[in-house]
Chains A and B, each alone.
Chain A
Amino acid sequence: GAVVSQHPSWVICKSGTSVKIECRSLDFQATTMFWYRQFPKQSLMLMATSNEGSKATYEQGVEKDKFLINHASLTLSTLTVTSAHPEDSSFYICSPRQGWNYGYTFGSGTRLTVV
Chain B
Amino acid sequence: DAKTTQPPSMDCAEGRAANLPCNHSTISGNEYVYWYRQIHSQGPQYIIHGLKNNETNEMASLIITEDRKSSTLILPHATLRDTAVYYCIVGKSTGNTPLVFGKGTRLSVIA
Point out residues on A near B: beta carbons under 8 Å. 4, 6, 31-32, 34, 36, 43-46, 49, 51, 91, 93, 95, 97, 100-101, 103-109, 111
- A91-B38 Cα distance, complex, nearest whole Å: 12
Point out residues on B near A: beta carbons under 8 Å. 2, 34, 36, 38, 41-46, 49, 87, 91, 93-96, 98-104
Given A91-B41, A100-B93, A104-B34: A34 and B46 within 8 A (CB)?
no
Contacting pair B101 A6 (CB below 8 A) = no
Contacting pair B98 A46 (CB below 8 A) = yes
Enumerate chain A residues within 8 angstroms of B103, measured Cβ to Cβ.
43
- A66-B100 Cα distance, complex, nearest whole Å: 23
Residue of A34, A91, A103 near B98 (CB, 8 A) is A34
Min CB–CB distance B41 → chain A (angstroms)? 7
- A97-B2 Cα distance, complex, nearest whole Å: 20
- A95-B43 Cα distance, complex, nearest whole Å: 9
- A51-B2 Cα distance, complex, nearest whole Å: 23
* Interface residues of B, dominant DSSP: loop
Contacting pair A46 B41 (CB below 8 A) = no
Contacting pair A46 B46 (CB below 8 A) = no
Enumerate chain A residues within 8 angstroms of B100, measured Cβ to Cβ.
46
Closest to A4 in B: B43
Enumerate chain B residues within 8 angstroms of A93, measured Cβ to Cβ.
43-44
The 5 closest A-B pairs by CB, nearest first: A106-B43, A44-B101, A100-B94, A34-B98, A32-B96
- A36-B2 Cα distance, complex, nearest whole Å: 15
Closest to B2 in A: A43
Q: List 26 A-B contacts (CB under 8 A).
A: A6-B43, A34-B98, A34-B99, A36-B101, A43-B2, A43-B101, A43-B103, A43-B104, A46-B98, A51-B96, A95-B98, A95-B99, A100-B95, A100-B96, A101-B94, A103-B46, A103-B49, A104-B34, A104-B98, A104-B99, A106-B43, A106-B44, A106-B45, A107-B43, A108-B42, A109-B42
Min CB–CB distance A99 → chain B (angstroms)? 8
